[in-house]
Amino acid sequence: MTARRTRAVILRSVRAEGSVPRRTRVLILSAEGREGSAAKKAKEIMRYPIRLAVIRILAGAMLGLREMASALVLRRSRLAGRGAVAALILFALVASSVAQVSAKKVLTLDGARRVIAAAEAEAKKNNATGVIAVVDDGGNLMAVERLDGTFAAGALISIGKARTAVLFKKPTRFFEDVIKNGRTAMVTVKDFTPLQGGIPIFVDGQVVGGVGVSGAASAQQDEELAIAGAAAVGGTK
């Protein structure tokens, strides 16, 4: 018997028993086709309604399992997709936060003391006096020391020099020269000390503080002492 005739016999037998879902008919056809003698098997099945009912139940169960498996696979793929999207979002947030915040060098109290010690050593080597002041990158006083024999006003002047140097990120000699050359209006700037002897302290290209010296033998020597102090922890540019 040909395969086409076999399928026709099975379908006629199934229709005789009543309406059967298309998927169930396909499963029955597939199962009986593998067993061989499809027409004979179909006749036997149709003679016993109970067997047909069992086959219907089994076929439905098989289809249900297949649908459940497909659903689980789809759900897992969707969850995996959501996980990938979440990972991308998290990466973007981290990258954004990194881009918005940068590392900053900070002058510590120990560093400020090293600046003063280096400037003091340079002053003693040249038998000089002076007041040495160190401020942080915001112009706030961190440490100050007045060498013996230095006039008292030197403390305020050295602090002003250090603050001016760090806030403008330039040696105070620059502003003194500008005023000498006719830009006298700069003297009206508040909390501004345009006198030679203030040096900004740079570390890895960042201004971390400033050092100011006042009361040495000359304005040039004030600056030399300040440069020696700044070199102890970083540099002048």
For the segment 55-79, the average pLDDT, to the nearest whole number, is: 57
Q: How far is CA 68 from the centre of its chain?
A: 42
Cα four-point dihedral sign 86, 92, 95, 98: negative
Over residues 5-15, the mean pLDDT reads: 51
What's the rounded mean pLDDT across residues 83-89? 66
pLDDT of residue 168: 95
Q: Residue 228: what residue type? A: A
Mean pLDDT of 34-62: 53
pTM equals: 0.60
pLDDT for the residue numbered 49: 53
pLDDT surpasses 70 at 120: yes
Confidence of residue 103 (pLDDT cuts 50, 70, 90): confident
Residue whose tokens read 């973007």: 92
Averaged pLDDT for residues 21-49? 50
* C-alpha dihedral sign at 194, 196, 201, 206: positive
Mean pLDDT of 115-133: 96
109-125 average pLDDT score: 96
Q: What is the pLDDT of residue 31?
A: 46
Task: Report whether 201 contacts 168 (CB < 8 A).
Answer: no
Give the Cα separation of 151 and 148 in Å (integer).
9
